[in-house]
Amino acid sequence: MSAAPTPTVLVTGALGQIGTELVSALRELYGSDSVIASDIREIEGHPVINNGPFLTADVLDKNSLKVIIEDNNVNIIYHLAAILSATGEKNPVLCERVNVGGLANVLELAREYELRVFSPSSIAVFGPDCPNHAPQITPLNPTTTYGKTKVTGEIMAKYYWEVHGVDVRGIRYPGLISWKAPAGGGTTDYAVDIFHHAIMSGKYSCFVGPDTRLPMMYMDDAIRATLEMMDTPVESISDSRGGYNISGCSFTVTELVAEISKVIDPFECTYSPDIRQEYADSWPDSVDDTEASNDWGWKAEFGLEQLVNEMLTNLTRTREVEE
């Protein structure tokens, strides 16, 4: 039996928090030349640009995406370009244009060129009426524009699969915690920023209160989930294809501070909640990922203690190298 041909992959929004690590994982899997990274911006010296093909592309410019797809015979799009919650609530019109309009362009091209698509969803699809431990299937009534764009994205994914047979899949990522790239304008960014401040000054002023509990996940788990779900035979993917719940770990800021303080002592966290508290309060504490576990065997590896140790070790090491 001959091996399946290596697909050509296009990643949009590739210079962001997820793209920085997903591009590198995809290039390891398929070879650097087979993974074309793209973003609306360029960042000099960024590893995604240095280590393989990179093109600037605005996902609102359908024609430029079409040219990239045709010129490179693209087979799969990992569509990461988006405006996250905190930035999105400041500019809801842009958030809707990029998150819904960009996805519409990608899905239309996927239909035309018979491409597979990965389109991330978020825990932001849930609203205040959702149980604290969010089920896979529950009414989705988000209060943020960002959350509404993510619900629309899930509906579009299901529609393109059912009506046009486009294999679109998504994951409702929790807040993602990583050290290789900064977080990109979301509500859960405090859970990344806190590590940088702990190492730099031993102090952090948090923009949500001490009892705020949210679903979170270490980036290594998120990348593995993405690759595992995309590698799952289509027969095993259920109606939740637009946005599978996946659970990593769930903790309050107080619990996070206590864990960081075991390594960085003294570490002082003060609290100055802003509008992002409202967004956080509208999201669940944790998610039920039974369906992802049953359909494609999802299981997280990183708990709070391991996540904190990985973050502090890696950030300290990279700071020492930079100094």
Active site residues: 146
Q: Is 186 in the site for ligand AKB (CB under 6 A)?
A: yes
Residue 17, binding choice from ligand AKB, ligand NAD, none, Cβ under 5 to 8 Å by partner class: ligand NAD
9 binds, among ligand NAD, ligand AKB, none (CB under 5 to 8 A by kind): none
CB of 41: closest distance to ligand NAD in angstroms? 5
Q: How far is the CB of 320 from ligand NAD (least distance, A)?
A: 25
Q: Angle CA(283)–CA(284)–CA(286) in degrees, nearest 5?
A: 140
Residue 70 CB partners (closer than 8 Å, separation 6+): 113
- What number of chain residues touch ligand AKB (CB under 6 A)? 10
Query: Nearer to ligand NAD by C-beta: 41 or 203?
Result: 41
Nearest residue (CB) to ligand AKB, 52 versus 185: 185
38 bridge partner residues? 55
CB of 56 to ligand NAD, least distance (A): 8
155 versus 201: smaller Cβ distance to ligand NAD: 155
Q: Closest Cα to residue 36, out of 153, 115, 154, 121?
A: 115
What 3 state SS string does the chain have? CCCCCCCCEEEECCCCHHHHHHHHHHHHHHCHHHEEEEECCCCCCCHHHHCCCEEECCCCCHHHHHHHHHHHCCCEEEECCCCCHHHHHHCHHHHHHHHHHHHHHHHHHHHHHCCEEECCEEHHHCCCCCCCEECCCCCCCCCCHHHHHHHHHHHHHHHHHHHHCCCEECEEECEEECCCCCCCCCCCCHHHHHHHHHHHHCEEEECCCCCCEEEEEEHHHHHHHHHHHHCCCHHHCCHHHHCEECCCEEEEHHHHHHHHHCCCCCCEEEECCCCHHHHHHCCCCEECCHHHHHHHCCCCCCCHHHHHHHHHHHHHHHHHHHC
Q: Does 123 bind ligand AKB (CB under 6 A)?
A: yes
300 forms part of the interface with ligand NAD (CB under 6 A): no
Asked if 187 interacts with ligand AKB (CB under 6 A), we say: yes
Contact string 145-164 vs ligand AKB (x = CB under 6 A): -x------------------
> Considering CB distances under 5 to 8 angstroms, the limit depending on partner class, which of ligand NAD, ligand AKB, none binds residue 187?
ligand AKB
- Binder of residue 85, out of ligand AKB, ligand NAD, none (CB less than 5 to 8 A by kind): ligand AKB
Binding residue for ligand AKB, selected from 85, 119, 245, 282, defined by CB under 6 A = 85
The reply on whether position 175 binds ligand AKB by CB under 6 A is: yes
The least CB distance from residue 313 to ligand AKB, in Å, is 23
Q: Which residues bind ligand AKB (CB under 6 A)?
A: 84-85, 122-124, 146, 175, 186-188
Q: Which residues bind ligand NAD (CB under 6 A)?
A: 12-13, 15-19, 39-41, 58-60, 80-82, 84, 98, 102, 120, 122, 173, 175-176, 184-186, 188
